[in-house]
Amino acid sequence: MHIFIIGSKGIPAKYGGFETFVEKLTQGRQNKNIRYHVACMADEDSEFYLNHTRCFKVRTPPLGSAAPVLYDLRSLQQSLSYIAAHRLENCLIYICACRIGPFLLYYQRKLRQQGIKLLINPDGHEWLRGKWNRFIKAYWRLSERLCVKTADHMACDSRAIEDYIKTRYCTYGTPATFIPYGAVTPPRRDRPSEAFRTWKKSHQVSDSYYLIVGRFVPENNYEVILREYMASGSSKDLVLITNVTKNKFYQKLEAGTAFSSCPGVKFVGTVYDQDLLTEIRQQAFAYLHGHEVGGTNPSLLEAMATTPLNILLDVVFNREVGGEAALFFSKKPGYLSSLLQAVEYLPPEEISHLAQAARDRIRNIYHWPLVIRQNEALFVAVLGSG
């Protein structure tokens, strides 16, 4: 079986959910009959091998928001050309995200003529993201619809997205299967590492802190969390690991919260060292998760696997992941600030109980070997369908 994966930025993974997914999938391959071909965004066209996987670089000019669309199209075309040139059979193309729906109508005949199956992961509700203007949002909705219409199968990383696809696009009859994203529960250090102590000192982070990890976008509800944290009067720091830029969103956030006047708010930039990031999560008092767009969020799973206490925005995606192992807040003014005041008085045994329940959910539902096995079974099933 030849599985061509396009839409992620490629491997080795540096940052991002799809990139980590592809890396874990290729590293942990269980079915030895599978041969992976992974597209990698680059400034040249070439090939290399990693994780016993053929990785093909796809030259992608810097075209802003249009670059990912061009990248997906060139990746698709290169995949089709390679399949034809090497006369490959039993091929499946797995597209991460619904960016090129309108163009798939053109490629649909070619795919069918070559007997290639098309599997698409819709990710989340991209058309709800606040960073897009109404024209781009309209394109995302159209692209999503046409992806579902042309795909042989949809792979959804949350049950809520699976239900949405099956309900909204029921007339197309495209099958959809829920397979979660994965995570691991890393061992805890007996004592803080030198790297962690250096990081903590350089950013003047207190011994006990709340943590946020995520992209710097409006739909992650930074304004709600900042405002409520400041209103709580907590003596713990609020550490934000994010790709913060002083753009219009940053200015709006400052105008709405005046966070720069609060010494406890610490924007510390991004952390690409995964071992250090894991330790930062483990040492946090609690993780705050305000994401409300998308399916199973990788940052949330990593927090559930590492951080003792997880406090999540109450939306269906987060409820699905957190279950009884997390606490939830609404965007109602005063709700989160009251919750933060209360959790600081939780008995240690109650926090330990929540932490254990979170780790159990990761092991039982979101464990990477299980996720890999489910994906490989789906590849076999889709290739074996009519």
Write down the pLDDT at residue 196: 97
pLDDT at 133 over 80: no
208-219 pLDDT per residue, tens: 999 999 889 888
CA 59/CA 71 separation, integer angstroms: 8
In DSSP terms, 47 is beta-bridged to: 56
Our CA dihedral for 16, 99, 379, 161, rounded to 10 degrees, sits at 80
Give the side-chain half-sphere CA count within 13 A for 7. 21
pLDDT recorded at residue 131: 67
For residue 192, what pLDDT is reported? 93
pLDDT, mean of residues 183-202:
92
Q: How deeply is 272 buried, as exposed, middle or buried, from its count of CB atoms within 10 A (0-12, 13-18, 19+)?
A: exposed
pLDDT at 15: 67
Report the pLDDT value the prediction gives residue 129, as an integer from 0 to 100.
67
Its pTM stands at 0.89
Cβ–Cβ < 8 Å for 303, 276: no
Q: What is the pLDDT of residue 308?
A: 95
Mind listing the pLDDT tens digit for each residue in 300-350?
999 999 999 999 999 999 999 999 999 999 999 999 999 999 999 999 999
Is residue 307 within 8 Å of 326, Cβ to Cβ? no
Reported confidence tier of residue 126, pLDDT bands at 50, 70, 90: low
Across 22-31, 44-53, 126-135, 285-294, least confident range = 126-135
Reported as a single tens digit per residue, the pLDDT across 87-102 is 999 999 999 999 999 9
Task: Point out the least confidently predicted range of 93-97, 123-127, 353-357.
Answer: 123-127
Res. 185 pLDDT band, cuts 50 70 90: confident
Strand 91-96, strand 117-121: pairing: parallel
51: nearest Cα among 89, 3, 118: 3
CB 189 within 8 A of CB 212: no
- DSSP letters spanning 256-301: HH-GGG-TTEEEEE----HHHHHHHHHH-SEEEE---SSSS-HHHH
Task: Please give the average per-residue pLDDT across 243-257, as a whole number.
Answer: 90
Average pLDDT, rounded, for the chain: 93
pLDDT tens, position by position, 148-173 = 999 999 999 999 899 999 999 999 99
For residues 265 and 209, what is the distance between their CA atoms, to the nearest angstrom?
10
Backbone angles phi, psi at 273, to 5 degrees: -75, 110
Please give the average per-residue pLDDT across 261-275, as a whole number: 94
